[in-house]
Amino acid sequence: MAKVVIENLSKYFDRVEAVKNFELEIDDKEFVVLVGPSGCGKSTTLRCVAGLEEMTAGEIHIGDQMVNDLPPRDRNIAMVFQDYALYPHMSVYQNMAFGLKLRKYAKAEINQRVREAAEILGIEELLNRKPRELSGGQRQRVAVGRAIVRKPSVFLFDEPLSNLDAKLRVQMRAELSKLHQQLQTTIIYVTHDQVEAMTMGTKIVIMKDGEIQQVGTPMEVYEYPVNLFVGGFIGSPAMNFIPAKIISKDSELSVDAGSFELVIPSEKEQYLQGKINEEVIFGIRPEDMQDKSFAEKSIQGGSIQAVVEVVEPLGSEVQLFVISGEHSLVARVDPRTQARLSEGIKLVLNMDKIHIFEKEPPHFRVKTEERP
């Protein structure tokens, strides 16, 4: 149970900058997810917190202590690795007890803690097995068990679910969230999977090229991505991006994408006055594009004509890959849709949910609303 403060962390590998000026405050009991594509520096950041990597600059505080110069074992942290990193020559029990033994806990205490953790994770009957006799999911649980018996002040997870199959991953996701509530401990969790970040984190940190792009709750980063990268990274399928121009016509503002023009809702106009006649990137999420025949009437939107290229029925919805003019788009529409391959379809875009990004890198989002 501790607050973690990372100040101005930088890490170079020779001349390659892996993490740049990383600033983050993590409150006690928070579940923070560092997410980003591979090579974005998220694992390096975590390893710096763990003490497995020496940082080039910056300070890390865990609780009230500056831990820069402390070895991993004195930082009161526990870590779960991607490949589980279980000791292959030890039984499950010994794996979990190892850290406690090293810290000279009494036998009875060790026994009690290991059994307690095994019960929480449902691995009591595996305690005498060797890691090689376990399935991937079971190994994962043992690795988590080894972390929780120590009752550390911070848990570090380094892509712990990426070696599990899809179904198990969904299950473990829920279990880890539950575990977090049960243990009430600070968690720093690294993943490249935005779904994991969205579903588990109380706070998400999106990184790219060693730099933080955005910090926020899952819904904040989903609804108000600060730039094009975050907009495209969070959400699946990814947000549609269309090069466009803001134009003023008949005292209304519109988005001109070449093959179609869409009127911008009047309450957003005030924010876009400065962008008139400027090139921008227009973003819209797939679920904000609906089959016109089944769209809710309350949607304030403009419609476009498109040709269906691929139909992917998912049961609860249908994913449509369409072409409108020169733009390829993805829409998640009502399952009742009558869309047929190579046929035309009318899609309605929810203009309340649009995102406008600057054309020039780093493609900042243009403010189009007051955040609640």
Positions touching other proteins (CB under 8 A) are: 50-52, 71-73, 77-79, 81-83, 85-89, 98-99, 102-103, 132, 146, 150
**Nearer of residues 187 and 264 to other proteins, judged by Cβ:** 187
User: Whole-number minimum distance, CB 83 to other proteins, in Å?
Assistant: 6
**Nearer of residues 14 and 370 to other proteins, judged by Cβ:** 14
The amino acid at residue 349 is L
Rounded CA-CA distance 78/155 in Å is 5
User: Whole-number minimum distance, CB 97 to other proteins, in Å?
Assistant: 10
User: Whole-number minimum distance, CB 334 to other proteins, in Å?
Assistant: 46
User: Whole-number minimum distance, CB 158 to other proteins, in Å?
Assistant: 9
User: Whole-number minimum distance, CB 45 to other proteins, in Å?
Assistant: 15
**Nearer of residues 75 and 208 to other proteins, judged by Cβ:** 75
29: region left, alpha or beta (phi > 0 left; psi from -120 to 50 alpha): left
User: Whole-number minimum distance, CB 347 to other proteins, in Å?
Assistant: 48
**Nearer of residues 83 and 343 to other proteins, judged by Cβ:** 83
Q: Is 286 helix (H, G, I), strand (E, B) or coil?
A: helix
**Nearer of residues 47 and 208 to other proteins, judged by Cβ:** 47
Helix (H) / strand (E) containing 139: helix 136-148
The encoded tokens of residue 298 equal 């309350």
Nearest alpha carbon to residue 172 among 202, 198, 146, 196: 196
In the sheet where 16-26 sits, what is the strand order?
Answer: 16-26, 4-13, 57-62, 65-66
Q: Which residues contact 298 (CB under 8 A, 6 or more apart)?
A: none
**Nearer of residues 60 and 331 to other proteins, judged by Cβ:** 60
Long-range contacts of 305-310 (CB under 8 A, 24+ apart): 305/260, 305/344, 305/345, 305/346, 306/344, 306/345, 306/346, 306/347, 307/342, 307/343, 307/344, 307/345, 308/339, 308/340, 308/341, 308/342, 308/343, 308/344, 308/345, 309/341, 309/342, 310/341
User: Whole-number minimum distance, CB 55 to other proteins, in Å?
Assistant: 16
Tokens 């039984």 — which residue? Answer: 91
**Nearer of residues 86 and 197 to other proteins, judged by Cβ:** 86
